[in-house]
Amino acid sequence: MKRKPVSAAHLPPSAFQSPPKNAERIAKDFGLERSSSLLPIASVKTVNREMLALIKKHKQGFVVVALLQLITVGCALVIPRAFGNLLGQLGSDPKHAPILLTVTIAGSALLVQTIFAYWTRVRASVLGEFVLSSLRERFLERVVELPPNVVERAGSGELLSRTTTDIDHITWAVRDAFPIITICLVELISILIAIGFTAPIFIAMVMIGAPAIFAVTRRYLRKSPQAYRVESSSYALMNSVLVESAESGRSIDALRLGDERIERSDSALGRWIEWERYTLRLRTQWFPFVEVSYIFPLAVVLLVGAHFYNLGTLTIAQITTALLYSQMMIDPLEGMLWWIDELQSGKASLSRLLGIHEIEEREIRDSDPIGYEVRGDEVRYGYKKGRDVLHGLSFLVEPGTRIAIVGPSGAGKSTLGKLLAGIQPPRSGKITIGDSEIGYLPVEKARTHVALVTQEHHIFVGTLRENVTLANQHATDEEVWGALAAVDAGQWARELPDGLETQVGTGGARLLPAQAQQVALARLVLADPHTLILDEATSLLDQRAARHLESSLAAVLEGRTVIAIAHRLQTAHDAEIIAVIEDGKISEWGSHEALIKAQGPYADLWRSWRDES
């Protein structure tokens, strides 16, 4: 049986007749309005300012492209003038008409035009790449400055869309649209000047269609920017739903959520399709008027030219040249309007790309913390609205303390670890390092104070040295070997074919999961933060190796605050403070001996773990 499309996927009827001022309301109908839960979208003012700044920054390149195009157009203008003069000569004195000379001039002009047209396109493409490079660099610089929670809350689909689809649209706009619009504009102005030299009266004739083109284009440009932005947002939403469904396929099957995810995917896909249709409808209302407007200048030039020819004030050569020039205007005009339309999609993507520059200042607090104590004040957090995982946690960890967080599975231990590392901010309450909220520090600064190591690790394509020194690229060989030795990785690292210069990752030497985890811990040693959060950091090692590694790390971690999410209670036994979390609350707090004497939840966990061991 064929599934029925989800009704939520359809646009409200008002979406197709609404004036531009209602565009925000239309977006809200889809839940696509600007929301604090997503990365923001830059305003039109910001986008225009950025485009102007890019033009100023690369003005020399634009000037070169414009000059090359002037030469190209100049050569193109020679041909109609030559054939117009030839036609006039054939009418008055056909025996002495310079046919060979005209063909030679036209052929030479065409050859020079082809050469300069090629140079123009090459320089325009190079200019586009430079402009695009500036945009990419600014985007990446800004992204790495953002606190992890600001980026993570946007979702994988939103980030994927901005860094792939939006970049592709901008690439097209910058590399093609900007240069071609510049070329077309120069060509139109040059043709108008040439018409003025041929017969000034024809300037008014070829401009007769301009008001109609201006009116329909203005109407289109009023509606299209918001439509393109919402279309991009709906695509990001669809992308997010599909990516999350693909990544969580096993969980969806296990929880029997397949029908719900299919319904949600249908709805998101339907929204995107309807917005695609809406923007297509705008284009189909625009292009026919523009195409019809091309006919009038030619007809008027022909009629007016015939009238003045009968009066004896214009020659056949002037009329022919003006007609050919009028015909020449169609291609650059059509090209410019076409690329202006493409530029709307590029501007919509640019507004999404520049949105990260409009993140509210309260999201980023670029100041060094004063003090190293870790404090939680009524911390609440949930992955879904109305369903908190952590319920009002308050605590204080003095600098240099080694604390273990224990509790049953699903109690909120790893969630608290993410909050302590600043990857997510609390829904309410605060987690501070010194006097600064860790979740709102720029990521580079946050990682100099707090580092999180989990069982999730990654080996990047490159040398072993490059993988270890990710946290400190200026580390010496001695420091790298010291970090590897501190995590019991020195022996196997020295046995690699090229030592630190051995290529690892895809296509290189294969590291075992336990070795990859040791590399992650070595990065932590080189990062040298004052507070470390270890979430199953030794889970891939067997119990004896994990115990030996923890003993080796003890000297390195001396004097630092260490917060360990303990799944092996031996780690808790060695900690100064143990925090027991049950159902998102701290149920016990104290040393191993004190909690064993209390005969509470920790004592039960300890006895159960010891019996299993």
- According to the 3-state scheme, what is the secondary structure of 69-122? HHHHHHHHHHHHHHHHHHHHHHHHCHHHCCHHHHHHHHHHHHHHHHHHHHHHHH
Per-residue pLDDT at 174: 65
Q: Are residue 276 and residue 386 in the same domain, yes or no?
A: no
Q: What per-residue confidence (pLDDT) applies to 301?
A: 84
Do 350 and 230 share a domain, yes or no?
yes
Whether the Cβ atoms of residue 588 and residue 581 lie closer than 8 Å to each other: no
Which of 358, 385, 400 is a domain's end point?
358
Q: pLDDT value at position 3?
A: 33
Last-in-domain residue among 326, 358, 390: 358
Q: Are residues 353 and 385 located together in one domain of the fold?
A: no
* Contact present, 369 and 435 (Cβ < 8 Å): yes
Cα dist from 331 to 44, 73, 113, 202, 342, whole Å: 29, 12, 16, 18, 16
Asked, for residue 485, whether it belongs to a domain, the answer is yes
Claim to verify: residue 47 and residue 174 sit in the same structural domain = yes
User: Within this chain, do residues 593 and 497 fall inside the same structural domain, yes or no?
Assistant: yes
Same domain, 330 and 187: yes
Q: How many CB atoms lie within 10 A of CB 536?
A: 20
Residues 269 and 293 occupy one common structural domain: yes
CATH assignment at residue 520: 3.40.50.300
Residues 86, 99 contacting (CB under 8 angstroms): yes
Which tokens belong to 501?
Answer: 């210069």
Q: Residue 413 domain-assigned?
A: yes
Q: Is residue 369 part of a domain?
A: no
Low-confidence stretches of the chain (pLDDT < 50) are 1-37, 361-363
Order of all β-strands in the sheet with 531-535: 450-453, 531-535, 561-565, 402-406, 577-582, 585-590
Task: Give pairs for 301-309: CB < 8 Å, separation 24+.
Answer: 301/202, 301/205, 301/206, 301/326, 304/201, 304/202, 304/205, 305/202, 308/201
In this structure, the answer to whether residues 226 and 318 fall within a common structural domain is: yes
What domain count does the chain have?
Answer: 2
155 falls within a domain: yes
Cα 508 from Cα 463, distance rounded (Å): 9
**Which residue shows structure tokens 């030795």?**
485
Residue of 238, 239, 262 whose CA lies nearest to 252:
262
Residues 352 and 384 reside in one and the same domain:
no
- Which residues pair with residue 450 across a beta bridge? 531
Is 364 a member of any domain?
Answer: no
Rounded to a whole number of angstroms, the CA Rg of the chain reads 34
Query: Strand 428-433's sheet: what is its strand order?
Result: 390-397, 374-381, 428-433, 436-437
Biggest CA-to-CA distance, the chain: 122
Residues 430 and 320 in one domain: no
What CATH number does residue 336 fall under? 1.20.1560.10
Based on the fold, state whether residues 395 and 321 are members of the same structural domain: no
436 and 513 inside one domain: yes
Q: In the Cβ-directed half-sphere of 471, how many Cα atoms lie within 13 Å?
A: 23
CB burial readout 331-366, b (16+ within 10 A) else e: ebbebbbbbbbbbbbbbbbbbbbbbbeebeeeebee
Which two tokens mark 311? 């009066």
Query: Can you tell me whether residue 590 is helix, strand or coil?
Result: strand
pLDDT score of 544: 62
3-state DSSP helix/strand/coil % of the chain, to nearest 5: 65, 10, 25
Amino acid at 407: G
Domain boundary, last residue among 288, 323, 358:
358
Buried b (16+ CB within 10 A) or exposed e, 56-95: eebeebbebbbebbbbbbebbbbbbbbbbbbbbbeeeeee
Domain-located, residue 38: yes
Q: Is residue 391 domain-resident?
A: yes
- The letter for the amino acid at 164 is T
Does residue 322 contact residue 329 with C-beta atoms inside 8 Å?
Answer: no
Q: Is residue 558 part of a domain?
A: yes
Domain that holds residue 209: 17-358
Terminal Cα-to-Cα distance of the chain (whole angstroms) = 54
- Angstrom distances, CA of residue 166 to CA of 105, 137, 172, 233, 236: 46, 15, 10, 10, 10
